[in-house]
Amino acid sequence: MNSVVPAGTRPGPQPELTDGTVRLRSHTEADLDAVVAACRDPETQRWTSVPSPYRREHAESFVGDHAPSRWQTGAGVVWAFCGPDGGYAGAMDLRISRSDPGRGNVGFHCAPWARGRGWTTAALVLACGWGFDTLGMARIEWYAFVGNVGSRRTVEKAGFVFEGTQRARLLHRGERRDAWVGAVLPGELRR
């Protein structure tokens, strides 16, 4: 296993990853309409912190500023993930802890037209595998609002272990909500 790569030292372009079916790549302007549609989906609105209502300018800021700045600053990486047809299927975010670069957490959403195909789990495995193998991470965590069964199934299929519920852990639209918590260690990831 590699040693942990310090934050702020990401050389070169953001990595592109694939398992032959799912591909993780940088977001592009061509994704804007799909990002808007995915983030306006009622289930995405219910379970994530995307702005509500979601406007095109939110997608422009996400694609043009937020996603690239994660990589450029060493804070993590935000990928668009695509299925076999190459179309936008969702976003996968691997965030690196500022205080402990051996620890990170993931966030993701899957577009409604891509759900139920296993692509989010595959994208999650790719992202976490890269975090373990390339960055030398020792632990990757997941948080989701209690009741987000789809997210929990996704992470458990990838090898995450459910660790419990934290009360008032996450802020959602001005309200504190309980969160499920899980994590995966390098030897637990289902590749």
Per-residue pLDDT tens over the stretch 72-92: 999 999 999 999 999 999 999
Task: Give the domain ranges of the chain.
Answer: 17-188
Check whether 1 has a pLDDT greater than 60.
no
pLDDT digits (tens, 9 = 90+) for 8-17: 555 689 999 9
Which amino acid, residue 135?
Answer: L
Retrieve residue 152's tokens: 């929990």
Q: What is the average pLDDT across 49-56?
A: 96
The closest alpha carbon to 137, from 179, 173, 172, 184, belongs to 184
pTM over 0.85: yes
CATH of 17-188, one of 3.40.640.10, 3.40.50.1980, 3.40.630.30, 3.40.50.720: 3.40.630.30
E-only strand ranges, the chain: 17-18, 23-25, 76-82, 88-96, 103-110, 139-145, 161-172, 175-184
Query: How far is C-alpha 122 from the chain's CA centre?
Result: 12
- Determine contact, residues 110/119, Cβ cutoff 8 Å: yes
The closest alpha carbon to 104, from 138, 70, 55, belongs to 138
pLDDT digits (tens, 9 = 90+) for 169-179: 999 999 999 99
Confidence at residue 10, expressed as pLDDT on a 0 to 100 scale: 59
Q: Looking at the DSSP assignment, which residues form a beta bridge with residue 105?
A: 95, 141
Which single residue is written with the structure tokens 């595998």? Answer: 129
- Determine contact, residues 122/19, Cβ cutoff 8 Å: yes
For the chain, the farthest-separated pair of C-alpha atoms sits apart, in whole angstroms, at: 43
Retrieve residue 22's tokens: 């799912």
